[in-house]
Structure 1
């Protein structure tokens, strides 16, 4: 079946298999010239793949093997990024491409039989499309080796930050919401006001650390250990991960020089699921703290990407002899966190479950929204995934007059397979969750704006094309859901000065028609996928969730508000601010006819990025 759209004409597989798409296991790299011969997308893996990409070299690089945990393809991708392909006049690249689209989109498909999607259903390749005439040699300039192009982000972009840039200082924190962005190098310091780096989070300024747990998807153990201050660097750390077999062995090998690092493997019993939760549990002499965030524990995720986090207050220890229900918050955060940890069924977490029970979490004003793998029926259907979010919105928000005009805004860094039309999942069960406001029986159908970077957003970003390595939307998935692209809006953050730090943050919200108020806001690890959010089965009597995910929901009632005013400038931080710091510009900007969503496993060679490189998947 063929379809025409602003993104080109594609031959679409007639499979109606709606299982989660399998993004490639290797990040399509800014390739080594020696690997130009092969433009086949890497073999599929599960869920979003976030491989560390070095935006600029550090004085001493760790070996590639310590940076790329996962498949051999992921390790190769990391190695290739150290030797990017420069933008050149040579016609050799165009002659070695596979079937290429000529509508200006630059999309291409490999002839490889390894481009399986949705559990092995093969996507048909694009064919019978006219070839695009090569650009005139006069339109390109030959790059002098090792010469950096002028940066559109200013003269200081290529200057290394001073050594103290990421060192801890007492930050100007917004104590109302406790929602923060990460620091970004390459930007003016004013755009990092109130932002946090991992070194800030682990700083002695926040407590005297005794022990910690790191839940995450991707790890660089050596880098992670270095982020702890020297006085805490040998304190016990438990790593909760989802790696299996060879990937697990590589992860364990990374830690062989760090005897204080131990491991807990999350059970992934459903195919195509991942351990995607990102959380820190920090136990101090003074108490206990929870951090729920969107960053992997790798260098690239903390330097030139937009990330978000919620940092709890410092929870004090309860008096001896306190009751089992003591220390609970109005949002039942303590109960829900304990339930989430218990879902791992892991002996390694039992000690932490007991510690949490001994602390007072009553100051918490957010709701926990988690996903854990399984098939759930009856009341258990509302424990996890988007049905958990639906239940919270039903119980803790109120109907709004004219709510059919209040748009839903979703923003994410990866996209799964959602079927051949919007009714299969997105505009059905997922939209019903996102549009729930209180106990009203009225089912509104407001606009849905989905924010996802365009090719141009990636090309002109601080990292350039390598930023796309953390945006794993594959051509195999994209060509089967062209209907989705009409929902897309640009990643814009001009007023905050952060447009060029590509998003790895994931946020969902409901906004007023003039985008000055929010009915609710969620920051989470969950991308736009059924694996992350769950999907109904058996005539809506069962929900199936594949992955571990975790986020926190902000609702106005928990803050004694009717709605959240949108903070116009989230970097003018004050502890008394009532405005919510939305991390991108509102209103969202719809894709123009010339915009295409970033697809990570096809080449982009018609224009150089901010470092003078092109993108050649290897």
Structure 2
């Protein structure tokens, strides 16, 4: 019996000890395979040379959908595309890849989806804390009439939103493969006005996550925390922040105790002591000083420092984005109600903003993540529990029906000191 796992990992780093890198993955682990036949990369920043240098065969066909306005291409096997972004404040921020495999001896074909938080540049993969989800290698469907799994339906729905010929070609290939073994639920954002009168209202962003939580997460009478952890904090009104937290607090019946809200983001002191230091950390830890000064009166109480000693990444600043609800039972045990790994930071551009009395959502950016909760593993009368895993603990104890999720930070959380010393950067 294969171990039950979320297939989520932290990335390894040359800055860390061998012990801290156990159970982690590198870019080479993902794409340096002799049977990798072609791939489609989705990202914001892409260093094509760096990408190809990590491949077993850098001459295979590569399609890249990216968010840069200018990206020179000198490789004949690489095709570059930028999707249309209607809003000037929106970006193509999704970080994912479709990997198509063909075993050279047997001819066996498979496909794998990878969702990550790292840009396709060396600094992201070596100098920061990042997260990766990868599906199993999904085989060809037994017949052309085999039904689509919910995971496949959600993936294709997201890819269609690009309206790019190259992505349509990838969709045609994907339809041949069986994604039924994939346990996660995709949570995506695509630019546009998504109205309640249309069927797409609950497909994207803040409403997509709320809908999934109402379908899959039971209410609880135990104390819980909703932990929002990201690398960028945009200028956001308090009203929007509370609406986002309300959506992320949804359960099947919406009864029980509302969660306490926490936001994990480094202090100035923590960033200064990191491998990237205060100056380089400002390249990717984005919280403009003006935005903080405008919001700190109501926002300070939510902030918790980046503490990652048990997780092994105290000095490796977070570019990872995770949203997690944890519950504490009467015996003091910490259980994860749900966990989301995503490209989406804490911003209206990423999650969308309710408009017209919550009958419309306006989203500016492309984002993609994957959510896990215990109900996705329930079979018959079995009950699976998610527990936070410390470093070196990656897999499931089947006999206890436990699935361990390796969080990038330590629990319990540590509030920011008073007076506040949140890491901010001057406007660029």
Q: Is the 8 A contact 2:395 2:403 kept in 1?
A: no
Q: Is the 8 A contact 1:435 1:444 kept in 2?
A: no
Which residue of 313, 321, 332 corresponds with 1:498?
313
Q: Say which SS state the counterpart of residue 281 (structure 2) adopts.
A: helix
Q: Which residue of 2 aligns with 1:272?
A: 89
Q: Which residue of 1 aligns with 2:304?
A: 489
Which residue of 214, 226, 229 corresponds with 1:394?
214
Quickly say closer, same or farther: Cα 1:553–1:406, change in 2 above 3 A: same
Structure 2 unpaired stretches of 5+: 103-108
The residue correspondences of 1:161-560 to structure 2 (distance < 5 A) are 176-204=5-33, 208-229=35-56, 232-243=57-68, 247-248=69-70, 251=71, 253=72, 255-256=73-74, 258-285=75-102, 286-319=109-142, 321-323=143-145, 325-326=147-148, 328=149, 332-378=150-196, 379-402=199-222, 405-419=223-237, 422=238, 424-427=239-242, 429-438=243-252, 440-442=253-255, 444-465=257-278, 466-482=280-296, 483-513=298-328, 514=332, 516-560=334-378
Q: Is the 8 A contact 1:411 1:450 kept in 2?
A: yes
Q: Is the 8 A contact 2:395 2:404 kept in 1?
A: no
Aligned residues: 407
Distance 2:38 2:282 in 1: 35
Distance 1:508 1:236 in 2: 35
Q: Say which SS state the counterpart of residue 247 (structure 2) adopts.
A: helix
Quickly say closer, same or farther: Cα 1:595–1:480, change in 2 above 3 A: closer
Q: CA RMSD in A?
A: 1.9
Q: How much does 1:410 deviate?
A: 0.5
Q: Is the 8 A contact 1:515 1:587 kept in 2?
A: no
Quickly say closer, same or farther: Cα 1:369–1:300, change in 2 above 3 A: same
Q: Is the 8 A contact 1:409 1:510 kept in 2?
A: yes
Deviations 1:405-430, CA, capped at 9 Å, x for gaps: 211111000011212xx2x1111x21
Deviating 4+ runs (over 6 angstroms):
none
Q: How much does 1:551 deviate?
A: 0.2
Distance 2:346 2:263 in 1: 9
Deviations 1:84-127, CA, capped at 9 Å, x for gaps: xxxxxxxxxxxxxxxxxxxxxxxxxxxxxxxxxxxxxxxxxxxx
Q: Say which SS state the counterpart of residue 338 (structure 1) adopts.
A: helix
Distance 2:220 2:89 in 1: 38
Quickly say closer, same or farther: Cα 1:368–1:575, change in 2 above 3 A: same
Q: Is the 8 A contact 2:240 2:353 kept in 1?
A: yes
Distance 2:186 2:341 in 1: 10
Q: How much does 1:387 deviate?
A: 0.6
Q: Is the 8 A contact 2:322 2:342 kept in 1?
A: yes
Q: Say which SS state the counterpart of residue 300 (structure 2) adopts.
A: helix
Q: Which residue of 2 aligns with 1:143?
A: none
Deviations 1:480-534, CA, capped at 9 Å, x for gaps: 1112122110111111221110000000011113561011000000000011001
Q: How much does 1:442 deviate?
A: 3.2
Quickly say closer, same or farther: Cα 1:401–1:486, change in 2 above 3 A: closer
Q: How much does 1:225 deviate?
A: 1.2
Q: Is the 8 A contact 1:306 1:502 kept in 2?
A: yes
Q: Is the 8 A contact 1:414 1:471 kept in 2?
A: yes
Quickly say closer, same or farther: Cα 1:573–1:443, change in 2 above 3 A: closer
Q: Is the 8 A contact 1:532 1:546 kept in 2?
A: yes
Distance 2:205 2:386 in 1: 27
Q: How much does 1:569 deviate?
A: 2.1
Q: Is the 8 A contact 1:278 1:296 kept in 2?
A: yes
Q: Is the 8 A contact 1:507 1:521 kept in 2?
A: yes
Q: Which residue of 1 aligns with 2:105?
A: none
Quickly say closer, same or farther: Cα 1:559–1:491, change in 2 above 3 A: same
The structure with more strand, counted as a fraction of residues:
2
Q: How much does 1:566 deviate?
A: 2.2
Q: Which residue of 2 aligns with 1:77?
A: none
- TM normalised by structure 2 equals 0.91
Deviations 1:270-295, CA, capped at 9 Å, x for gaps: 23100000001000103100000000
Distance 1:515 1:544 in 2: 39
Q: Which residue of 2 aligns with 1:591?
A: 416
Q: How much does 1:579 deviate?
A: 1.9
Quickly say closer, same or farther: Cα 1:441–1:191, change in 2 above 3 A: closer
